[in-house]
Structure 1
Amino acid sequence: MNSLVAYDDSDQEDGEDVTSPKDNIHQSQNDPASWGSKSCHPFPSRHPIEHEIEQCFGVGRTISEPHRLTIPAPFGAPEIVESCSTPKPHLPRHRSDSVRGSLVKRPLAPPPGVRPYISKRQRSLPVVEGGEPMSSENDVTSDESTVSRLLSEVSERVRPYLGPRPQGAQLPRQVRLCLQGHQGPVNTVRWCPVPQLSHLLLSASMDKTVKIWDGVESGRCLKTCSSHSGAVRDACWSPCGRRLLTGSFDNMAMLTDLETGQLIVKAENQFKVMCLAMQPENPEVFLCGGYSSEVKAWDCRTCKVQRVYRADIQQTLAILFLTRGKEFVTSSDSVSRDSAERTLIVWDFQTTAKLSSQIYHERYTCPSLALHPQEDCFVAQTNGNYMALFSSQRPYRMNKRRRYEGHKVEGYAVRCDFSPDGSVLATGSSTGCVHFYDQRSTRTLQTLEAHGQACVGVALHPVIPAVVATCDWGGEIKIWQ
């Protein structure tokens, strides 16, 4: 009997029959007369390798020994090289089914040395153990929509307090949130002045960035502005709550749109910017001071200097607009031998004239100023480890009966702030504590051990009672309640 596939084996002698049982199976399967017999199909489920041999070489074709058949393997697995001279035995039926199922269900691994493509967005996501990103593209889109909503809509925690404000301020008791994100000292923290957006907290740091936080609910960072190339010394909100004004040691003052992050105004000065203030009646104009004897008034619409206020000083430490914005106060580092002449100067905003330069007669500089929200007075933080109270009406006299003592300044630019009703005055301290004073009696109401390093910033929430934000020289921000 002639076999359909003849194998030329060098060990076989000429004339020896090399027909194998497998050949009989092939012959029976190709014989139309035997199709109706079940004995012709002892193995109905054939191995896939036999099918590939017949498809490649055809039935009845003779293959010599030197020819070797390379059988394709699953992607990433080593190739199977079989000699056609040795018959391939059949696998049992259950074995063949299991192999076929495993070839279909087993995931294909990439070949050695080839890395799968990962998109730029997936590379920017955090990676957990196993190499898979924590969030998918749908999660990123959802996260962006959540951030956009928080920047423009009312927070659910602020909404119950948007009605009539309760009488009397409350003091915080414990830490509610600890915000970590800055890599350098935080110079200031400020709540958004718009009640509907008062859940937003602004922070400016020496790490050249300004961050916007959800300060009352989740504590997450919603926006990071890194337009400056130097340390950000001061930052404040616009009255509408949609713009940020920042000043830096790179001699730049920038006005940035909160939602888009685009620069609206880029004002270049010839000095390092240390303090900023927006005109209350005309937010398109802002004051800029720093390492210079001049204070400049910039117009956002034309991006030009509108007015210049000159004094015989070396640098301006703080700027504060008084009631109605017609006058403003500047604090300088000028201290004479006998008195602190020109330490605090009151200016007329329209005429650039000095209204008074001898309202503080003690030999201490004043690194920060704060305006009372209801009364015609303001306080000046001094390096004498106390805060002094001044009248915001002419002749701008200092109230010698009220002096807020108990905290330490020691050369830091420690900031202070009033409660919304003006009954409580809060200040940081170089010891890391936060001190709360009664505005009328000047007695200490409470002292919190807030930070391990110097606490240089404190801000009382404008809507929610007993909520206070603090920052320190180590880059830490805490929300107290």
Structure 2
Amino acid sequence: MDLVNNYGSSDEEDNVQTSNVNTVSSVVKINAAPETGFDDHSSGNLYTAPTATELIVNVPYDDMNRPTLGPENPFTDRRLATQNVINGHVETQAISEMDFRTQHRTFETYGYARDPSLSTATNLAGQTGQGLMGTGYVGNLAVAAELGGASILDRVNRDLRPNKDAKQKREKKGKLEEVDGPNAYKGPWAGYEDDNVGVPTGLDQEQIEEVQAMQAPPKAAFSVKNVAQETNTESTIFHGASERDYLGRTYMAVPQDIDTNLFGEPGSQECFVPKKLLHTWEGHEKGVSSIKFFPKSAHLLLSGGMDNQIKIWDVYHDKSLLRSYHGHTKAVRDIAFNNDGTKFLSASYDRNVKLWDTETGQCIRTFSTGRLPYCVTFNPDQDKNNIFLAGYSDKKIVQFDTNTGEITQEYDQHLGAVNTITFVDDNRRFITTSDDKTMRAWEYDIPVVIKYIAEPDMYAIPAVTLSPNKKWLACQSLDNQILIYGARDKFRLNRKKRFAGHLIAGYACKPGFSPDGRFISSGDSNGNVWFWDWKTCKILKKLKAHNKVVTCTEWNPHESSKLATCSWDGLIKYWD
């Protein structure tokens, strides 16, 4: 801005005379930008301290976004994150494709190659300069020194090449007139020296046995073995009028002269809570520990008792005792059918697990590890139905093959006796419970726990039942309540579902589900049967069923309100 000290008006412009006198004026310069402290910025670079928090100059945008000058720091976290890998330390090296292929062929031919990561120029003799090593070599350095560090593309003296084939000498053709002997005529068929033509070669017997032992697949070294001994003391008694009817059918045939469709889908009809007693099966001299309906049709009922016997009963028609199976010398603890019901397993306190033919009563095979079997179950997969798992008192789950009688797998992680084994998740996994107050999930045929469930307030779980929709596990806990766990990937406790009110007082009372999943039932230590609503968890009914502990409740899959119960009083009752 210019400030002039001569002022005038527009009216006086006409009266002003032109003169040669110069007008004197004073000019004041005003700079709005502060002093920067740098007089010369001609270099175009800006120098600031790395720790500076403010700038005293107006920095252009291009200068502010320039990369940091100086060498790259090799120890920054970002760089080390890409260099430090599981297998070691990785550094990027640049090498041309042609040079890489040349060195690769050199290494395959001569056994050495130039190392591009070395920056030294030391030759094989330890001298520095234009030595034969160039930037260093890797591999067979002796051959590299012998060949002068030549690559596959360089010309090398033939005599210096490694592994050169020595020319073999030809054998003499022999004399034409001789047929046998050292000078026999060989002619053009004469071989070379030391080619062992006609000399028998091969491995001796010891070497053959060593090779066969190395090639043989290793056998699984399990700590337990099947030590069962065949006693041939098993027997069976048929209690019916005749083993076959007029059409030649045994009791295994599904009856079709009743109103119930025994081939229907379980749970297809609405279920109700039973109210009255239909029938009582009497035959066991002592308590009944377990009952199982015949698979799919449920027209037969299998029971295992503390009188060492196993019995099968008719559910329809006259509801009579059909066959008894004798063979165990102590109480039977658990029983299990295979998929089609033609065979079943029985676990007893005599330390044996026996496989029976349901129709003929013949004992097919006996399995034992010398320990007490507490539970048995078949693999539900149709192609693996010859495999069954047994939980033992020595904290192990042992996997048997019924075809061979051999042990195929062993699961050893529990710290107490194994009480239950339940297959879940499309039979790919199974859940086990134990006296160590834990639940463990396993992948089938893999002896590693995939889920470990243990809480400080957990009690032992002696009985488990899978829901009809295969989504939930009803676990009878010894703190007088039934807990619900998910049967899928999470295996979590469903805290919204808790069924309580009954007393089991240390007994293994197996719960039961109605076929449609609406109700859950369980016995107690006083001989009562309790019914709860699945959705609301409310008690629906308390039924006085037996005089002693009710150990098992089994719902008929094809009837709307039929329930079978067994007790320590030796009775099996059928309710509707």
* TM-score tier after normalising by the smaller chain length: 0.5 to 0.7
Structure 1 match to 2:449: 354
| Residue 243 (structure 2) pairs with residue 144 (structure 1) | yes
Choose from 414, 417, 442 the match for 2:509. 414
Structure 2 match to 1:213: 313
The CA distance in 1 between the partners of 2:491 and 2:289, in whole Å, is 28
Deviation of 1:151 after TM superposition, in Å, equals 2.7
Query: Which amino acid is 1:172 matched to?
Result: P
Structure 2 match to 1:63: none
Deviation of 1:163 after TM superposition, in Å, equals 4.2
The CA distance in 2 between the partners of 1:453 and 1:320, in whole Å, is 27
Deviation of 1:155 after TM superposition, in Å, equals 5.3
| Residue 430 (structure 2) pairs with residue 328 (structure 1) | yes
Q: What is the DSSP-based 3-state SS (H/G/I as helix, E as strand, rest coil) of the residue aligned with 1:143?
A: coil
CA contact (8 A) 1:185 1:475 kept: yes
Superposition pairs for residues 398-477 of structure 1, below 5 Å?
398-477=493-572
Deviation of 1:156 after TM superposition, in Å, equals 3.0
Query: Which amino acid is 1:224 matched to?
Result: S
Structure 1 match to 2:9: none
Structure 2 match to 1:369: 464
1:232-279 deviation line (CA, Å, top 9, x unaligned): 100011110111111111111111111111122211122111101111
Superposition pairs for residues 21-420 of structure 1, below 5 Å?
142-145=241-244, 149-154=250-255, 156-157=257-258, 159-160=260-261, 162-163=263-264, 166-195=268-297, 198-281=298-381, 282-334=384-436, 340=437, 343-420=438-515
Structure 1 match to 2:80: none
Q: Which moved more, 1:308-317 or 1:380-389?
A: 308-317
- Unaligned stretches of 5+ residues in structure 2: 1-236
Task: Indicate how the Cα distance of structure 1 residues 440 and 266 shifts in structure 2: closer, same or farther if over 3 A, else same.
Answer: same
Query: Which amino acid is 2:420 matched to?
Result: A
Deviation of 1:143 after TM superposition, in Å, equals 3.1
The CA distance in 2 between the partners of 1:298 and 1:141, in whole Å, is 34
The CA distance in 2 between the partners of 1:299 and 1:220, in whole Å, is 34
The CA distance in 2 between the partners of 1:304 and 1:393, in whole Å, is 31
Task: Indicate how the Cα distance of structure 1 residues 155 and 364 shifts in structure 2: closer, same or farther if over 3 A, else same.
Answer: farther
Deviation of 1:360 after TM superposition, in Å, equals 4.8
Task: Indicate how the Cα distance of structure 1 residues 276 and 453 shifts in structure 2: closer, same or farther if over 3 A, else same.
Answer: same
The CA distance in 1 between the partners of 2:256 and 2:327, in whole Å, is 28
Structure index of larger Rg: 2
CA contact (8 A) 1:161 1:464 kept: no
Task: Indicate how the Cα distance of structure 1 residues 350 and 142 shifts in structure 2: closer, same or farther if over 3 A, else same.
Answer: closer
Please identify which structure carries the higher helix content: 1
The CA distance in 2 between the partners of 1:167 and 1:318, in whole Å, is 30
Q: What is the DSSP-based 3-state SS (H/G/I as helix, E as strand, rest coil) of the residue aligned with 2:250?
A: helix
Query: Which amino acid is 1:237 matched to?
Result: F
CA contact (8 A) 1:344 1:360 kept: no
CA contact (8 A) 1:359 1:398 kept: no
Deviation of 1:420 after TM superposition, in Å, equals 1.5
The CA distance in 1 between the partners of 2:457 and 2:324, in whole Å, is 41
Q: What is the DSSP-based 3-state SS (H/G/I as helix, E as strand, rest coil) of the residue aligned with 1:153?
A: coil
Task: Indicate how the Cα distance of structure 1 residues 361 and 324 shifts in structure 2: closer, same or farther if over 3 A, else same.
Answer: farther
CA contact (8 A) 1:360 1:398 kept: no
The CA distance in 1 between the partners of 2:259 and 2:570, in whole Å, is 26
- Unaligned stretches of 5+ residues in structure 1: 1-124, 126-139, 335-339
TM norm structure 2: 0.56
Query: Which amino acid is 2:257 matched to?
Result: E
Q: How many residues matched?
A: 334
The CA distance in 2 between the partners of 1:156 and 1:360, in whole Å, is 52
Amino-acid identity (%): 27
The CA distance in 1 between the partners of 2:271 and 2:294, in whole Å, is 19
Structure 1 match to 2:78: none
CA contact (8 A) 2:463 2:475 kept: yes
Structure 2 match to 1:15: none
Task: Indicate how the Cα distance of structure 1 residues 141 and 194 shifts in structure 2: closer, same or farther if over 3 A, else same.
Answer: closer
